[in-house]
Amino acid sequence: MRNVAIVGAGITKFGVREASWKDLVQEAGKAVFDDVPNLDKKEIDSLIVGAAQPERWVNQTHVAPLVAELLGIEVKRVISRTEVACASGQAAIRYAWLAVAMGLSDIAMVVGVEKMNTKFMNFSQSSMINVGNREFDGANGFTAPPFFALVAQRHMHDFGTTREQLAMIRVKNAEYGSYNPYAQFQKKVSVEKVIESRMVAPPLTLFDCSAITDGACALILASEEKARQLTDTPVWIVGGVQHVDYAHTTNQMGDLSHWVGLRKAARDLYEMLNIKPDDIDIAEVHDCFTISEILEYEELGFCRKGEGGKFIEEGQSYVGGKVAVNPGGGLLSNGHPLGATGVRQAWEMVMQFRGEVPKERYVDNAELGIAHNLSGMAQLHHIMAYSLKKRSDVKFGR
């Protein structure tokens, strides 16, 4: 197995964009090519595109070769689109990682893209119902907001998590979003403002929810030999796990306030890397709703089960706390263009490790970061680990 590094990263402004999905791909492509000035595009041999539902939102499938044309790449080794709904982007990174690690590819490009805001917003929004089991959850209109609202209700019931603690997640991530020029939302908010915003599904209000967003993000992955030629600051991909534990159909799930799949995924990753949660400096986690981040603190082992609310209240997940969680602003500030989100998380890692973020959200002396993506009704959890050190060098246990 070969070491694999991210040698370049580029992103578009996320938001409600006038741009088409093709414009977004080219904008992210230009950004990443600008980021790796020594790269000859002809050396890119592989391309993996993460996109969730272009078939619905832009009436387009077979997107990977179309992205190749848009970016002027002649793919000679591995090409595919990956789809696992909200985690389609991280899935693309994982596939490219495997291709380079195995030696089938030397330089692989990853593009995550989603264009969700269209002229037909009823159609766009109702297409989100396809993420659930269509004949069960879909037919009953059981989409993400009511599901995560039930998770919140159960967590509040079981562990005494408060409405204010939920809001504090948005307050933190809005603060970091205010220092991220690519984020959809760049205004700080107060606990009161979160709670007073429009009700979506009790207890979750508008500001507890991530948005319907357009955006794209691109990476260049390379073998160690190529990475050395292309950059002085490679960011190494040192591990990756996924876990499906829950049934996909919600009425077959277990206790909603325990995300067993995430707990198992985290355990597997920590075993793979021989690390403990304390060794993690930065965690980009999937805060599609405020309650999600609270469960993620717990299942990732940053705090004990049930103490996620206390963890944010004590400020432990701020930069300078026990672990910096979502210093890039998370999904709550950046918005959530499904296929781009997992790639944006990796982009944030690269910018952090290189020290190319504003000081207000910079995690000093960071060596190890993880990115957690979830998909669907939190049935499926995906984690990747990134580091300034190669896997063969890495000794994270301190």
Closest approach, Cβ 26 to a second copy, in A, equals: 14
Rule CB under 8 A: say whether 131 interacts with a second copy. yes
- Phi, psi angles (nearest 5°) of residue 22: -65, -40
Q: How far is the CB of 264 from a second copy (least distance, A)?
A: 7
* DSSP code string of 313-338: HTTTTSTTSSSEE-TT-HHHHH---H
Q: How far apart are CA 342 and CA 361, in angstroms?
A: 19
Q: What angle do CA 295, 95, 62 make, to 5 degrees?
A: 105
- Out of 154, 188, 193, 248, point to the residue binding a second copy (CB under 8 A): 248
Cα angle value 317/148/158 (rounded, 5°): 75
Question: Tokens 């207890």 map to which residue?
Answer: 203
The Cα 326–Cα 12 span in angstroms is 18
Site mask, a second copy, residues 151-190, x = CB under 8 A? ----------------------------------------
Q: Using the rule CB under 8 A, is 241 a contact of a second copy?
A: yes
Instruction: For residues 13 and 373, give the distance between their C-alpha atoms in angstroms, rounded to a whole number.
Output: 20
240 part of the interface to a second copy, by CB under 8 A? yes
The residue among 102 and 199 lying less far from a second copy, judged by its C-beta, is 102
Q: 25 to 84, contacts with a second copy by CB under 8 A? A: 52-53, 55-56, 58-66, 68-69, 73-84
Mark 299-328 with x for binding to a second copy (rule: CB under 8 A) and - for no binding: ------------------------------
CA-wise closest residue to 387 among 335, 349, 360? 349
Binding segment for a second copy (CB under 8 A), chosen from 87-95, 157-165, 349-357, 387-395, is 87-95
Phi/psi of residue 295, each to 5°? Answer: -65, -35
**By C-beta, is 178 or 379 nearer to a second copy?**
379
Q: Considering the rule CB under 8 A, would residue 251 count as an interface residue with a second copy? A: no
Contact, 185 vs 132, CB < 8 A? Answer: no
Phi-psi group of 88: left, alpha or beta (phi > 0 → left; psi -120 to 50 → alpha; rest → beta): alpha
Active-site residue, 86 included: yes
Q: Which of 262, 376, 383, 391 binds a second copy (CB under 8 A)?
A: 376
User: Catalytic one among 243, 336, 381, 382?
Assistant: 336
Q: Which residues bind a second copy (CB under 8 A)?
A: 1, 22, 52-53, 55-56, 58-66, 68-69, 73-85, 91, 94-95, 98-99, 101-104, 127, 129-135, 138, 240-245, 247-249, 252, 264, 268, 375-376, 379-380
